[in-house]
Structures are given as structure tokens and as C-alpha cells.
A and B are shown apart, each in its own frame.
Chain A
Amino acid sequence: GQQVMQIPQYQHVQEGEDFTTYCNSSTTLSNIQWYKQRPGGHPVFLIQLVKSGEVKKQKRLTFQFGEAKKNSSLHITATQTTDVGTYFCAGLGGGFKTIFGAGTRLFVKA
């Protein structure tokens, strides 16, 4: 079945450093989504990418969708302590099912 792989599993950064998480799918994705889950919270939808090569920005967050629509990345510039949490990518599976990556847990040291 379809798999969505995400790396790294964990990332420790000093506040102000940049952070990137990568997502790869075994099959071509019709779209890809990114979610953030704060410690103790539930996943919250951040953004959806649909087009090949698409790049979207939300303040310090930059999201990219690969040309082949099989990979994606989330880059955070100058991390802040409020960025702490787990970032999940997710792709559309069969029957409207969303397949989540394993997540990247971000730790930010002040």
C-alpha cells in the first residue's frame, strides 16, 4: 500500500537556527498536506500543496511540493520556541483516506 516516509524523526535546534523536514511517498500524490501538533495537543492543518513544483509560504514557514509530486519539504527559518511540536506530512490514499508520515519532532532550545 501507499506509504509516506518522513525524516528526520527528531531535530534539536538552537533558537534562531533553521529547520527542515522532508517527506517522500512511494507513489505520486494528488496533493500533500502539512500538520503541526503541539505537545499535548491535536494535529492542526497548516497547508495543502496540489501543483507540481508548488511553493507556498506562511511567515517563516516555506512548503515545497516536488516536481514529480512524490516528495515535499517544510522549512522553518529562524526557529522560535513557539515552533516546538511535531510536524506531519500527509498524502491522499484510496477512498478519501489520509496517510500520515511518521512525523518530525522539533525541539527548540532558547
Chain B
Amino acid sequence: SAVISQKPSRDICQRGTSLTIQCQVDSQVTMMFWYRQQPGQSLTLIATANQGSEATYESGFVIDKFPISRPNLTFSTLTVSNMSPEDSSIYLCSVGLGTAKNIQYFGAGTRLSVL
């Protein structure tokens, strides 16, 4: 397993501003991911954070809106840019472990409200 520290845990932001979420892992990991979870819904993968290269985004998510950094094997950031109320959600980072690198260990999440 891994210990994942995510911050901030929650924030209330104004429309049009940006928020950067940080994710720190206690060990070096190859696979890091960012998810979004609307209240009462399942988890939707935003992107795979690749170390030393551009993130791989899922359909419906673009780099201009959700820029991601992955400077090393223990750290990643997700920025939610030019926020609107529709961006209000829980954002979770995770690491993929196990033989297939797909057992997900999650950070505690960032609860974002956009006014």
C-alpha cells in the first residue's frame, strides 16, 4: 500500500479563479491518477499523470482546463482552471499498485465548491 497526502482537503472558490491540488506519496510510484467524483456518483478518471511527460487525458477532459504536473515519482498537482459552479466536485488523486498497477490507493480527496 501507500500513504497519500492530498491538500487542500476542501476549498470554496470564486468563479473564474483557479485552484491547484497537491498529491504527495510516501514512496516512488509509476502510476498516478486524478479522478473526479460528483456527489453520490462514481469515480470518473480525469487523467493519468506521467512522470516527466504530458499527462494522458480521458475523453471530455483537456489540458487547458485541468493542467497536471508530475515532476517526480512521488508528487503530482492538478489545477482546476477558470472555475465555474459545474466544477464543484470531489477531486481525488490515486496511485496504482499491484502486479497490474491498477489497485488504486486514494488520497483523502479535495472537496471543491465554486460560487
Q: Let me know if A96 and B31 touch, CB within 8 A.
A: yes
- A43 on the B face (CB < 8 A): yes
Q: Which of B41, B43, B48, B92 has the most CB of A within 10 A?
A: B43
- Chain A: residues with Cβ within 8 Å of the partner, total of 22
Q: Could you tell me the distance between the alpha carbons of A1 and B108 in the complex, rounded to whole angstroms?
A: 29
**Contact A103 to B42, CB < 8 A, known contacts A42-B92, A92-B102:** yes
Name the contact of A90 in the complex, choosing from B41, B92, B104 (C-beta under 8 A).
B104
Interface residues on B, range: 20 to 34
Contact A97 B106 (CB under 8 A): no
CB atoms of A98 and B42 under 8 A apart: no
Partner of A95, one of B1, B48, B105, B109: B48
Q: Which residues of A contact B48 (CB under 8 A)?
A: 95-97
> What are the nearest 3 A-B pairs in CB distance?
A42-B106, A100-B43, A92-B102
> Interface of A with B (CB < 8 Å)?
30-31, 33, 35, 41-45, 48, 88, 90, 92, 95-98, 100-103, 105
